[in-house]
Amino acid sequence: MDFGFDPDEEAYRQALRQFALKSLAPHYQGDDKAARLRPGLVADMAHMGLTGLRIREEYGGQEAGAVVAGIAAEEVSRADFNAAYVIVITALISDVIERNASTAQRASWLPPIASGETLPALCVTEPGHGTDAAQLEMRAVRDGEQWRLDGEKTSITLGMSADTAIVLARTGGEGARGVSVFYVDLDEHHVKRTQFDDLGARSIGRASLYFDGLPVPADRMIGGIGEGFVSVMEGFDYSRAIIGLACLGAAQVSLDEALQWARDRQAFGQPIGQFQGVSFPLAEYATYLRGARHVCYEALWRKDKGMPHSTEAAMAKFWAPKLAVEVIHQCLLTFGHLAYSTESPIGQRLRDVIGLEIGDGTAQVSKLVISRQLLGREFAS
């Protein structure tokens, strides 16, 4: 049993940390105030191979394992939490295409994602269907040799910036078997975008997308008719562990800052870290972070080994965002009034991380997955 990264993984982690500190951290707060994805960000990340992590080398990618994708998300989020969304989304979509698309489709779609030329989005959620995604209502209707998409997708990460999207739409009857998946160009003539004014993660451009008869060639369907839902949902298993590590990266850097503050800040003639009321909460959260991090990396390790990992990914998804919010909140309190100012990144990290207690699966859904595994489906509902 090995609890450490191998030499190549450790070297990669260190290189990414230097890149993130130099190229991402200086823009973190400014991008939030601008409420848009910074021009050049995707190109910078692509130059480091971060948009092609899960794409095979023959398509211009890194062909990296899931553990390496987790390392990337954790290190990037330490400097710029919102930049980690680019890793999560490109890794998830690449994985869906790699597993389910034809050879011709992979050769056409994956190289532009790997190079950063194309930024994709994932369109699942609708105004009336989030967690219950199998009941989605967007329609894909045959129109000669093509399809046309009509309906609304909402809460779409990178929705204001994405060039393409994987879209789930109903091509048949009710339930998951009536859903197909398409990889589409977000044609501005048939897709209207409206950005949310969010509490946090403002730079990612969360948006609603309105599809008004978007024409989609038949060869843009992934898999067969009615095969879309399961293929996409399977990808969420490991991406949820990557999300967990992104949240923990933001929490860990906040904890590191709070620990240094506990050494430097003087009160009553001594460093405040000498007061157990200050040091004990930090010690407790350092312990919890260690445990959650192991859960996340175990899920990714199991993915790389071809082992079942749904339960571990669900554990990572419900625990890591919740814990990260608690840790960052405690760090803000440790700093006191200084961290309450917008000049400090701690408050922004708190606002940003809260969003992933909601997105990509709520804690309740994750706990349902875990309880069904522990008790058996017939005993947990």
% of the chain exceeding 70 in pLDDT = 100
* Confidence check: pLDDT of 69 > 80: yes
- Within 10 angstroms of residue 147's Cβ, the number of other Cβ atoms is 22
The CA distance from 136 to 153, in Å, is: 9
What is the distance between the alpha carbons of residues 95 and 173, in angstroms, rounded to a whole number?
Answer: 27
> What distance in Å separates the CA atoms of residue 245 and residue 77, rounded to the nearest whole number?
8
Q: Give 282-310 pLDDT, tens digit per residue.
A: 999 999 999 999 999 999 999 999 999 99
* Residue range(s) occupied by CATH 1.20.140.10 in the chain: 230-379
- What is the chain's Cα-based Rg? 21
CATH architecture of 7-118: Orthogonal Bundle (1.10)
Distance between first and last Cα of the chain:
35
pLDDT at 17: 97
Question: What does each C-alpha distance from 231 to 69, 177, 179, 237, 252 come to in angstroms?
Answer: 20, 11, 11, 11, 33
Question: Confidence class of residue 231 from pLDDT cuts 50, 70 and 90?
Answer: confident
Instruction: Name 109's Cβ contacts closer than 8 Å, sequence gap at least 6.
Output: 97, 101, 118, 164, 183
Least confident of 53-62, 222-231, 275-284, 352-361: 222-231
What is the pTM (predicted TM-score) of this model?
0.96
What value does the mean pLDDT take over residues 251-270? 97
CA distances from 31 to 85, 272, 284, 343 (A): 14, 33, 32, 14
Give the integer Cα–Cα distance in Å for 381 and 370. Answer: 11
C-beta of residue 28 within 8 angstroms of C-beta of residue 348: yes
Whose CA is closest to 226, among 160, 151, 168?
Answer: 168
Average pLDDT (164-190) is: 93
Q: For residues 303 and 339, give the distance between their C-alpha atoms in angstroms, rounded to a whole number.
A: 38
DSSP output for 64-85: --HHHHHHHHHHHHHH-GGGHH
Alpha carbon separation from 290 to 50, 131, 230, 318 (Å, rounded): 25, 29, 33, 16
Classify domain 230-379 at the CATH topology level: Butyryl-CoA Dehydrogenase, subunit A; domain 3 (1.20.140)
The ranges of the chain annotated as CATH 2.40.110.10 are 121-226
d(CA 183, CA 367): 31
* CB < 8 Å & 24+ apart, contacts of 109-113: 109/164, 109/183, 110/52, 110/55, 110/56, 110/59, 110/60, 110/61, 111/59, 111/60, 113/51, 113/52, 113/55
Among all chains, which residue has been given the structure tokens 């004990």?
280
Average pLDDT, the chain: 94
Asked whether 180 and 10 are in contact (CB, 8 A), the reply is no
The residue-averaged pLDDT of 65-90 equals 97
- Which value, to the nearest 10 degrees, does the dihedral of the CA atoms of residues 238, 244, 247, 248 take? -120
C-alpha span between 247 and 321 (Å, rounded): 6
CB 148 within 8 A of CB 214: yes
Bridge partners of residue 246, in order along the sequence: none
Q: Where in the chain is the domain with CATH 1.10.540.10?
A: 7-118
What pLDDT, on the 0 to 100 scale, is given for residue 338? 94
Amino acid at 343: E
Topology of the domain comprising 121-226 = Butyryl-CoA Dehydrogenase, subunit A; domain 2 (2.40.110)
pLDDT tens column, 79-130:
999 999 999 999 999 999 999 999 999 999 999 999 999 999 999 999 988 7
